[in-house]
Amino acid sequence: MEELAGYGNYIVSSLLTMGGIYAILTLGLNIQWGFTGLFNAGIAGFIAVGAYVFAILTKGPAAEHLGGYDLPLPLGAIAAMIVAAIIAWAIGKICIRLRSDYLAIATIGIAEILRLILKNETWATNGPRGISGVDKAFEWLPRPWGDIAFMVTILLTVLVIYLLLERAWRSPWGRLTTAIRDNEDSARAAGKDVETFRLQSFVIGAAIMGLAGAYLAQVQKFIGPDSTDPTTTTFLAWVMLIAGGSGNNRGAVLGAFLLWTVWSATQIVTGWLPQEIIVFGHPIENVPVRSTYLRIFLIGLVLQIVLQRYSAGILPETRPAVAGKSGKTGLEPGRTT
C-alpha cells in the first residue's frame, strides 16, 4: 500500500506535473520554431524571468528580497507572461530582421545577462540564495489533494494552450507564419509584413514560456539563479519538440510527456547505481553522479539522431491549408540564404 502511494505520488508530482510544465514550454517553443522557424537558445532565461516575477509578486513580505505584494496567484502568472513577453519583444525588435543565427546568439546572450542580473541584484532577488517558500496553488487542500488539484490545473493549462494553438495553426495567422518559415521571400513578395509576424510569434511563445516558469517556481517552491541548469532545460525542450514533431501541437505535447518520462525514469535508475564499480580492474568512483552526466550526453545524441534520420518527429506536421496532403516536415524550412 505504502509503495503504491509512492508510485502514485511519483506519477502525480513528477510525470504529470513536471511533464505538463514541459508540455507548456514545448508548445511555446512550437510557436517560435514549429510555426515560424525562429531559433530560441535562451528558453531558460524566459523561464527564469517568469519564475522570479511570479515568486516576487505572490509571496508575502520578506526581508531578503523585493516582495510582499501577496498578489493572487493567477495575477502573478499573468504578470510573469507579460514580463517575459516584453523582454522577448525587445530582443526580437533588434534581431528578428536578421537570419535565425543572430537570434540564437542574442537569445543565448539575453539568458546569460538575465542570470547575471538575478544573481547580482541581491536587493530584489536575494542573489545566489534565491527565493524560497514560493506560494503554490491549492496548498491549503489536505495532503494528496493539493498536489492533485495543482496537477489538474497544469494539465488544463496545457489543454487550453493546445486548443488555442490548434486554432492559431488553422487560422490565416498560422498559415502566414508557416509561409514565412518556408519561404520568406515569397511571403514578402505577397505583401506580408514578415518582421511583424515573426515578432508576434516570438513574443507569444516567450509569454507561454514565462507561464511555464511561474508553474515551475510553484512546483519547486523555490527559485534561484542556478536552480535549473540553463543549457539542459533549454535543450530538453528542444529535443522534446523535435522528437515529438515540430509544427505539430499534438507532437509537441506528446514529445514533452514522453521525453520527460524517460528523463525522470533514468534519473531514478541512476540513483540506484552503486557508488563505485570496477571496470577492467579500474575502480570508477561517483558512479551515480557520472551517470547523471552520461544521461545528458545521451539526450544530446538522441537529438542528433532524430535531426538526421527522423527530422519530421513522431507526429509529423500536417498542413491544414492543403487538407489530406501531408506537407513538408517542419524542420526543413526552405530558406536558402
Partner 1 sequence: MWEFVNFYFIPGLVLGCIYALGALGISLTFGILRFANFAHGEIMMLGAYFTFTIMGLTGWHPLVAALPSMALAALLMLYLDRQFFRPFRDSPTIMLVIASFGLMLMIRSAVWVFYGTQSKPLLRGFQRPTQYLDGAIQFPDKHLWIFLTTIVIMLAIWYLLTRTKIGKAMRAVSDSPELAKLTGIPVETVIRATWIVAACSAVAAGVLLAIDSQLDSLMGFKMLLPMFASAILGGIGRPFGAVLGGLVIGVAEELSAYPWIGVEPLLNPAYKTGMAFAIMVVMLIWRPSGLFKGRVF
Where is 278: in which H helix or E strand? Answer: strand 277-279
Among 18, 48, 88, 95, indicate the residue that binds partner 1 (CB under 8 A).
Answer: 95
Cβ 189 to partner 1, closest distance in Å? 19
Site for partner 1 in 27-86 (CB under 8 A): 37, 39, 41
Nearer Cβ to partner 1, position 20 or 92? Answer: 92
Site for partner 1 in 280-299 (CB under 8 A): 286, 289-290, 293-294, 296-297, 299
Residues contacting partner 1: total by CB under 8 A: 47
Q: What SS3 state is found at 142?
A: coil
Q: Which residues on adjacent β-strands are paired with residue 278?
A: 283
CB 307 within 8 A of CB 329: no
First to last CA, the chain: 61
Cβ 88 to partner 1, closest distance in Å? 14
Among 11, 66, 109, 188, indicate the residue that binds partner 1 (CB under 8 A).
Answer: 109
Nearer Cβ to partner 1, position 93 or 170? Answer: 93
**101 interacts with partner 1 by CB under 8 A:** yes
Among 22, 238, 257, 263, indicate the residue that binds partner 1 (CB under 8 A).
Answer: 238
> Please, which residues have CB within 8 angstroms of residue 143's CB and are 6 or more apart in sequence?
none
Q: How far apart are CA 236 and CA 238, in angstroms?
A: 5
**260 interacts with partner 1 by CB under 8 A:** no
**232 interacts with partner 1 by CB under 8 A:** yes
Nearer Cβ to partner 1, position 106 or 253? Answer: 106
Nearest to 60 by CA among 79, 50, 73, 49: 73
Supply 297's cell numbers. Answer: 550526453
Nearer Cβ to partner 1, position 72 or 300? Answer: 300
Q: Which residues on adjacent β-strands are paired with residue 132?
A: 222
Among 89, 102, 222, 310, indicate the residue that binds partner 1 (CB under 8 A).
Answer: 102
Among 300, 320, 321, 326, indicate the residue that binds partner 1 (CB under 8 A).
Answer: 300
CA separation (Å) from 333 to 34, 130, 284, 322? Answer: 10, 41, 45, 17
Among 5, 113, 141, 190, indicate the residue that binds partner 1 (CB under 8 A).
Answer: 113
Where is 146: in which H helix or E strand? Answer: helix 143-170
Quickly count: other Cβ atoms within 10 Å of residue 126's Cβ: 23
Residue bearing cell 523582454: 87
Nearer Cβ to partner 1, position 238 or 257? Answer: 238
Q: Which residue spans within 210-261 are E strands per DSSP? A: 222-223
**301 interacts with partner 1 by CB under 8 A:** yes
**122 interacts with partner 1 by CB under 8 A:** no
User: Which DSSP state fits 31?
Assistant: I
CA 213 to chain centre: 8
Nearer Cβ to partner 1, position 192 or 328? Answer: 328
Chain contacts with partner 1 (rule: CB under 8 A): 37, 39, 41, 94-95, 98-102, 104-106, 108-110, 112-113, 116, 119-120, 231-232, 235, 238, 242, 286, 289-290, 293-294, 296-297, 299-301, 303-304, 307-308, 331-337
